[in-house]
Amino acid sequence: MSDDHEVVRELLAAWAFGALSPAEEKTVPPHLAECESCAAEAARLRETVRQLEGPPENGGRSHIGDGAVSFALRARPAAPRVAAHAAPYAAAVAGLKALLLEADGRWGTPVVHDWDVHATVAHLIAADEPLAGQLGAGGRVPPAPVTDGEGWEAAWNRRTAEVIAQEHGRSCEETVADWAAQAGALLATPEARDPVLAARAVTLMGVRLPVADHFVVRAFEVWIHSDDIGRALGLTVPPPPEEHLEQLVRLAVRILGAALGPAAPPVLFAVTGGQEWVLGSADEPVQAELTLDPVDFCLLVGGRYSPDEVPRGATGDEDAVRNVLERAASLAWL
């Protein structure tokens, strides 16, 4: 894949919002005329912008670049250059920042669990804290004493409650600013830019993974909660770009495979239009085949679908299929 192709891929979101510089305007359109995959992604992003900005006034045509979301992106500082493993998180953070512009005056809208929009953003401060602490990016809320012998899940729930309580005593704008500052600090770490540094493994939330994978986990959660907020506000939140979605899926499949273990009935699992994996025992013939849309798979792992609800294509042993679906749903902590 050419360097020009990669450069244009990084500019497509700005193009969709009419936020290209004059020099960039000379680069993107000619490439779109020649590259089918970039043209398709550009069309998808522009349609997303149209949905975010709503119908045009007086029945006229929508002008890309009008509206609060577009204005914010035109005025945004340059996004930090990060390595591929941190790119999904950077994109998810940028997307949530744009979405939160639409929450003004609606911060108390119920979102998920017992959280409103304000509390959901506060939760993300707590959720980013463990990785920020590991990478020396610092926390935004003073820590409370840790109980001896406290398991990670209890500590996770306690910390989320502490941060939400703290942030509800502050303005919504202050909470968003702190979340954005912490996210920015994470993206400014050497580990966000250097795959070699990000290869070291650390244990966060009970899971030992390379730092690079923890960045993907952070992207997963920010996108899931962005989707939660969008649904609560009646706004469409697009899925991650294809290359980012692939990273989320691959990591989720790895974690799912480890959770199933080598003794589970083997199932050939595939995502629509993507890869396939054998989950479970490698010593037995495949007992079933299961196919999910990649976004639906992520929503299942993220706890937004139950095993009974998620659309799927399946053949073979129903119990083996259900075992995979139930184990995938059990991974949810969001």
Residues in the chain: 334
162's tokens: 């502490």
Burial class (CB in 10 A: 0-12, 13-18, 19+), 244: buried
Selection from 216, 203, 233 nearest residue 298 by Cα: 216
What residues form DSSP beta bridges with 112?
115
Contact 213, 247 (CB under 8 A): no
Name the region of 327 (left: φ>0; alpha: ψ -120 to 50; beta: rest): alpha
**% of residues, the chain, pLDDT over 70:** 81
User: Residue 81 has what pLDDT?
Assistant: 74
213's tokens: 């994978």
At residue 247, what is the residue type? Q
> Does the structural domain 252-330 have CATH classification 3.40.140.10?
no
At residue 79, what is the residue type? A
User: Residue 145 has what pLDDT?
Assistant: 59
User: Residue 77 has what pLDDT?
Assistant: 41
168-221 pLDDT per residue, tens: 999 999 999 999 999 999 999 999 999 999 999 999 888 899 999 999 999 999
Helix (H) or strand (E) holding 295: helix 294-301
Check pLDDT > 70 for residue 287: yes
CA distance 98 to 43: 19
- Look at 73-87, 133-147, 156-170, 202-216 and tell me which has the smallest mean pLDDT: 73-87
Could you write out the DSSP letters of every residue in 227-261? HHHHHHHT---PPPPHHHHHHHHHHHHHHHHHHH-
For residue 142, what pLDDT band results from cuts at 50, 70 and 90?
A: low
User: Residue 58 has what pLDDT?
Assistant: 44
* CA dist list (Å): 128 to 125, 163, 207, 217, 225: 5, 12, 15, 10, 13
Query: In which residue ranges of the chain is CATH 1.20.120.450 found?
Result: 80-238
Query: In which residue ranges of the chain is CATH 3.30.1050.10 found?
Result: 252-330
At residue 283, what is the residue type? D
Output the pTM of the full model.
Answer: 0.76
4 or 173: which carries more pLDDT confidence? 173
Pairing state between β 288-292 and 267-271: parallel
Selection from 329, 326, 325, 324 nearest residue 304 by Cα: 329
244's tokens: 């980012």
What is the rounded average pLDDT of the residues 256-262?
A: 95
User: Which CATH architecture does the domain made up of 80-238 adopt?
Assistant: Up-down Bundle (1.20)
69's tokens: 């979301």
85's tokens: 């493993």
